[in-house]
Amino acid sequence: MDKVLKALRAGRDEHVDRLKEWLRIPSVSADSAHRADVRRAGEFILAELRGAGFQTKLVDTPGHPVVVADWLGAKGAPTLLVYGHYDVQPPAPLELWRHGAFEPTVEGRNLIARGATDDKGQCLALVRGVAGMLAARRALPVNVKFLIEGEEEIGSPNLESFVRAHKDELAADVVLIADTAQLGPGKPALTVGLRGLLYMQIDLAGANRDLHSGSFGGAVANPANALCGMIAALKDGAGRVTIPGFYDSVRPLTQAERAQMAALPFDEREFQRGLGVEALPGEPGFTAFERKCARPTLDVNGLLAGWTGEGAKTVLPCKAMAKFSMRLVPDQDPETIRNATIAHLESLLPPGLKMKITCDHGAAPVLVPAEGPWTRAAVRAVAKGFGKEPVFMREGGSIPIVSTFRKVLGIDSILIGIGLPDDNAHAPNEKFDLDDFQRGIETAAHFLEEMATVSRAH
């Protein structure tokens, strides 16, 4: 490994330059105006893999294309499937960025840009680590496949059918994903649980036009008032979701799980200080850490109605919109919860209004085993790459594909966090620690080597 590590370290500046180049492509999958940019970002990582000696192809879907690549020269050795995504969240609100969202800028140890951590930075760490090892040795100790998609940030609507259609081609022993985070600086982590996701939009419509709130107020239903009432009725004052049946399938946290979480080096005071808030309210009976990782919740993601500019406009708006999402935990079923939510919203709709509900996103919650040979290989790889053994933790975010891989390919995923929890994923000034980037690159190479060891021990 010395030769490999030497080469990976010598390539540090080039790793960063390539990442910057990728980050300059505004691959916002949610915005149809960026359709061509999304494709360009896929072609970028495809060229990177092809240049490194992988067989590659770009496969079109009804949405954005999928990049697949493989190197299968390790006969008899196990096979790794690396998953990542090349699309990014929208950069809004633009005015809060210190630099252009797509003008990657180094500030101290950090690189600032949309996608820096989620997921271009973390994904490229795996790609550069594997590619660098192949370049240094002209061979890999295991077979490696890549599946890098462009629709993760919009719920991977076409990926499950893609995986089903390419089941044999994607066959592997285990999946490696770098799309979660460490527990904190110098606290590397393997994620063993992910929350599911259900993203919905409500559009309420009242009168056929905006009205003068003086001349009409009181006589006609106001969709903005009604929307607030409906959203408010989705949670109680304490923070529990009030959709009937919402908690029915929630697997209670065991004493062992709670003890494990409590033992993690997570400082609630520091967490609170970092957010600049005076309290961390939420579902009673659970710590903030449990609530953000292992309990289901419901958050409004967007609200829009009427006059939102400067000053006073006495308009009674004719429509109002809310986007909200639920994070689900085992064993909540997105489909069941979706139906319960729609039924609840329909029961809440006041007279005189019309409602349209759109479901954008769905992902099942998932738990992956915190044991087994691949997990132990990952622990050893992280210990070598980061100089410290990883903790096991649950993460509050969702990676829809993890449950798909288990369901369709029958394999588990190793979720390795290279970024940090305060990296501002989905927010302005998204960042990525370039030292962690280098550690991630080296960890990827170590993981291939450790996988091969497992194989020999079988």
Residues 158-187 that bind a second copy (CB under 8 A): 181
Could you confirm whether 87 is annotated as catalytic? yes
- The tokens 């501002």 sit on which residue? 424
Cα 63 to Cα 39, 154, 159, 346, 404: the distances in Å are 10, 10, 10, 31, 18
Question: What residues form DSSP beta bridges with 433?
Answer: 110
Please identify, among the stretches 8-16, 44-52, 126-134, 276-284, the one whose residues bind a second copy according to the rule CB under 8 A: 276-284
279 makes contact with a second copy (CB under 8 A): yes
Please identify, among the stretches 15-23, 37-45, 60-68, 87-95, the one whose residues bind a second copy according to the rule CB under 8 A: 87-95
Catalytic-role residue among 87, 179, 283, 442: 87
252 makes contact with a second copy (CB under 8 A): no
Please identify, among the stretches 9-17, 41-49, 69-77, 86-94, the one whose residues bind a second copy according to the rule CB under 8 A: 86-94
Judged by CB under 8 A, the residue of 219, 256, 263, 457 near a second copy is 219
CA angle 266/90/293 to nearest 5° reads: 25
98 makes contact with a second copy (CB under 8 A): no
Nearer Cβ to a second copy (265/309):
309
**H or E, element range at 196:** strand 196-205
**H or E, element range at 39:** helix 35-51
In the complex, the smallest distance separating the C-beta of residue 270 from a second copy, rounded to whole angstroms, is 13
Catalytic-role residue among 152, 179, 395, 436: 152
Q: Report how far residue 266's alpha carbon sits from residue 183's, in angstroms, rounded to the nearest whole number.
A: 7
207 makes contact with a second copy (CB under 8 A): yes
Q: Report how far residue 388's alpha carbon sits from residue 367's, in angstroms, rounded to the nearest whole number.
A: 23
In the complex, the smallest distance separating the C-beta of residue 183 from a second copy, rounded to whole angstroms, is 12
In the complex, the smallest distance separating the C-beta of residue 208 from a second copy, rounded to whole angstroms, is 4
421 makes contact with a second copy (CB under 8 A): yes
Q: Report how far residue 442's alpha carbon sits from residue 214's, in angstroms, rounded to the nearest whole number.
A: 66
Cβ neighbours of residue 408 under 8 Å, at least 6 residues apart?
A: 160, 163, 164, 167
Q: Report how far residue 136's alpha carbon sits from residue 14's, in angstroms, rounded to the nearest whole number.
A: 15
303 makes contact with a second copy (CB under 8 A): yes
Please identify, among the stretches 36-44, 126-134, 425-433, 448-456, the one whose residues bind a second copy according to the rule CB under 8 A: 425-433
Neighbours of 35 (CB within 10 A): 15
CA terminus-to-terminus distance, the chain: 22
232 makes contact with a second copy (CB under 8 A): yes
Give the CA diameter of the chain: 81
What phi-psi label fits residue 209: left (phi over 0), alpha (psi between -120 and 50 degrees) or beta?
beta
What's phi and psi for 209, nearest 5 deg? -160, 160
Map the footprint of a second copy across residues 350-369, applying CB under 8 A. 350-353, 360-361
240 makes contact with a second copy (CB under 8 A): no
- DSSP class of residue 232 equals H
Map the footprint of a second copy across residues 42-81, applying CB under 8 A. none
285 makes contact with a second copy (CB under 8 A): no
Map the footprint of a second copy across residues 376-405, applying CB under 8 A. 395-398
333 makes contact with a second copy (CB under 8 A): no
Q: Report how far residue 327's alpha carbon sits from residue 198's, in angstroms, rounded to the nearest whole number.
A: 7
Please identify, among the stretches 14-22, 164-172, 191-199, 383-391, the one whose residues bind a second copy according to the rule CB under 8 A: 191-199
Residue type present at position 58: L
Judged by CB under 8 A, the residue of 53, 73, 239, 245 near a second copy is 239
In the complex, the smallest distance separating the C-beta of residue 301 from a second copy, rounded to whole angstroms, is 5
Q: What residues act catalytically?
A: 87, 152
